[in-house]
Structure 1
Amino acid sequence: MSDYVFTVTSPKGFEATVQAATEALQQEGFGVLTTIDVAATLKAKLGIEERPYLILGACNPHYAHQALQAEPDIGALLPCNVVVREEADGRVSVVFMDPAAVLGMVKRPEVDKLGGEVRGKLKRVAEALRA
């Protein structure tokens, strides 16, 4: 367990978990701006076969705007990344960047508050995926 992420295990397969994560994020006001297929990139660039591993770049425009207004450089810490990966035993893990921890690096009370609110939303997404 790290200080900058939180993780849940999904009872679904990989593709179903990606779909469920995207839908649960939407329910909390997030859109997926980017999808990085790490496994496909490693295969194409290095010829390495890896288990499925996607990075979903999730953004809640309302909170992103507030954060950018408070600190213009905060864009370097956005979006909130959500990793969906298949483990060696076939389980599917969903790993969430903890916005409270990451945005806490800015050390500004208004940004800390936003980080806590966004963390709460992502925790609800995590719980929805665990079910």
Structure 2
Amino acid sequence: MAYTLTTQVPLPYAEAIDAIKAALAEQGFGVLTEIDIRKTFTAKLGPEAGDSVGDYVILGACNPNLASRAIAAEPEMGALLPCNVVVRRGPDAESTTIEAIDPQTMVQLSSSAHVREVADDAGTRLRAALAALPL
């Protein structure tokens, strides 16, 4: 099973981050965390590690209504939240890749009908956010 929803955009890295944040907001998601992997790798592992990963950020996106429903259905679902969205561009890339966790991954871990409903809703919203990006 593929575990991400992925698209490529012809935008520069910083513009792609702004575009996905706006598209997520339109779907009711806020960004709770922003982890700059390149910066972290450079600081912890050295410049070569940072350079090899290229521009890479993990956005922790959360739709409070969906998160509330998932946690109410199964409190353990909090371990899978927020929905991670990756924006990355390798050193020689001509486009920027944007990937979101496929919420159906939650369904693989739970037999709850309520979790399935939340995953379906989240998946629809994340797909819409990715589809709103310029291709």
User: What TM-score results when the alignment is normalised by the length of structure 2?
Assistant: 0.91
**Runs of at least 5 residues in structure 2 that lack an aligned partner in the other structure:** none
SS at structure 2 position matched to 1:82? strand
The percent of aligned pairs where both chains have the same amino acid is 38
Q: Check whether the contact 1:9–1:130 (CA below 8 A) recurs between aligned residues.
A: no
2:95 aligns with one of 91, 109, 124? 91
- Over residues 60-95 of structure 1, what are the superposed CA-to-partner deviations in whole Å (9 max), with x where a residue is unaligned? 000000111111111000010000000332310001
- Over residues 31-64 of structure 1, what are the superposed CA-to-partner deviations in whole Å (9 max), with x where a residue is unaligned? 0000000000000001023310000000000000
- 1:20-99 aligned within 5 A: 20-47=19-46, 48-50=49-51, 51-87=54-90, 88-99=92-103
Q: Check whether the contact 1:58–1:81 (CA below 8 A) recurs between aligned residues.
A: yes
RMSD value over aligned CA atoms?
1.2
Instruction: After the TM superposition, list the runs of 4 or more consecutive aligned residues in structure 1 that deviate by more than 2 angstroms.
Output: 87-90, 101-104
**Runs of at least 5 residues in structure 1 that lack an aligned partner in the other structure:** none
1:5 maps to a residue whose letter is T
Q: Tell me which residue corresponds to 2:7.
A: 8
In the alignment of these two chains, the number of paired residues is: 130
CA distance in 2, matches of 1:103, 1:54: 26
